[in-house]
């Protein structure tokens, strides 16, 4: 037991030393070298296509089979325009396939309409979350770089402010945005973090209407179906940057933060306006996941005093 404890303490000390060495290398420092995470995290992806791991530490369990998808921004600049926020940059999707103790991968940028237009023109054409287009912009870009979710018999890549984008799960080809048989209202955001009911298999989601008087919409996609049903609408009095929500056995719970966003604003500094005099609020709506024909019974908002 003593030798085991000593061994673990030694391993902890070595881990701390390695972490300190890693932290000492800033992403732009002379000490950084290709291959270091600190180096790669501050640079754009330069390759697409299939790949295989160069080195595997230990063994990949042979009983793990399936595909693990990972998604995130793949750029730190767009045609020599530095991107000023971690959320900016086109979505870069990776599929890691596990089969009989082996792993193979495929990585590609999600070829959205906005990305393909910029690639064809050779310049930045859209504002992003924290970066303004230096010239005349065609609009605002919401790359689907936050999440990958399976619903409505398809694989979707998701952003926080635009329609879900359907992809081919094998080739990662982009099939374009979807409105789920017209059930997603135009001009409405779609959460990047849907929730699946573990009992019924129904998918729950929310969206915010991009209007002068924003509403929060709560919707349910019954298992095996392809169209959402909106079961609750709440007038908010402002465009709240709601990021996530909770699904309980009875309720859908949404937390409204004490801040609002200026719709259409560009530049991260101008997007969010704190409301210091307004507390957070919890909105609770009855869920129809257990009884599909049951109407919403109640909607309640509870204020949380600021600390």
Q: Do 152 and 146 form a contact (C-beta atoms < 8 A)?
A: no
Radius of gyration of the chain (CA): 22
The model's pLDDT over 265-278, given as tens digits with 9 standing for 90+, comes to 444 444 455 554 45
Sorted by where each begins, the domain ranges of the chain are: 37-53+61-178, 185-307
Distance CA 110, CA 31 (A): 33
Non-local (6+) Cβ contacts of 99 within 8 A are: 65
pLDDT at 210: 86
CA dihedral (212, 208, 152, 299) positive or negative: negative
| Mean pLDDT value across residues 173-182 | 96
Local confidence band at 176 (pLDDT 50, 70, 90 cut-offs): very high
Question: Which H/E stretch holds residue 175?
Answer: strand 174-177
Between 3 and 49, whose confidence is greater? 49
pLDDT at 250: 86
Q: What is the pTM of this model?
A: 0.77
Distance CA 252, CA 290 (A): 12
Non-local (6+) Cβ contacts of 70 within 8 A are: 93, 94, 96, 148
pLDDT at 57: 87
pLDDT at 307: 44
The model's pLDDT over 70-113, given as tens digits with 9 standing for 90+, comes to 999 999 999 999 999 889 999 999 999 999 999 999 999 999 99
Question: Which H/E stretch holds residue 220?
Answer: strand 215-221
What would the two tokens of residue 12 be?
A: 């902890």
| Length, in residues, of the chain | 307
C-alpha closest to that of 191 among 231, 218, 152, 153 = 218
């Amino acid at each position: 037991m003593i030798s085991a404890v000593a061994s673990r303490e030694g391993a902890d000390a070595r881990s701390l030393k390695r972490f300190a060495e890693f932290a000492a290398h800033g992403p732009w420092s002379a000490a950084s070298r290709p291959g270091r995470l600190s180096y790669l995290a501050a640079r754009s992806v330069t390759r697409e296509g299939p790949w295989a791991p160069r080195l595997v530490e230990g063994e990949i369990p042979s009983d793990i089979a399936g595909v693990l998808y990972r998604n995130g921004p793949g750029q730190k600049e767009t045609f020599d325009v530095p991107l000023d926020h971690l959320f900016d940059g086109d979505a870069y999707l990776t599929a890691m396939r596990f089969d009989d103790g082996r792993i193979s991968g495929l990585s590609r940028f999600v070829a959205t309409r906005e990305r393909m237009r910029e690639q064809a023109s050779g310049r930045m054409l859209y504002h992003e979350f924290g970066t303004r287009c230096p010239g005349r912009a065609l609009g605002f870009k919401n790359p689907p770089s936050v999440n990958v979710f399976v619903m409505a018999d398809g694989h979707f890549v998701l952003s926080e402010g635009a329609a879900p984008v359907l992809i081919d799960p094998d080739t990662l080809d982009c099939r374009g945005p979807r409105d789920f048989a017209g059930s997603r209202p135009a001009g409405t955001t779609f959460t990047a973090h849907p929730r699946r009911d573990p009992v019924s298999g129904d998918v729950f989601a929310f969206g915010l209407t991009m209007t002068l008087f924003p509403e929060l919409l709560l919707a349910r996609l019954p298992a095996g179906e392809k169209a959402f049903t909106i079961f609750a609408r709440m007038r908010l009095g402002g465009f709240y940057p709601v990021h996530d929500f909770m699904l309980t056995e009875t309720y859908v719970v949404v937390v409204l933060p004490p801040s609002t966003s200026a719709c259409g604003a560009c530049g991260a500094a101008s997007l969010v306006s704190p409301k210091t005099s307004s507390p957070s609020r919890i909105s609770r709506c009855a869920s129809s996941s257990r009884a599909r024909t049951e109407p919403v019974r109640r909607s309640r908002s509870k204020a949380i005093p600021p600390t």
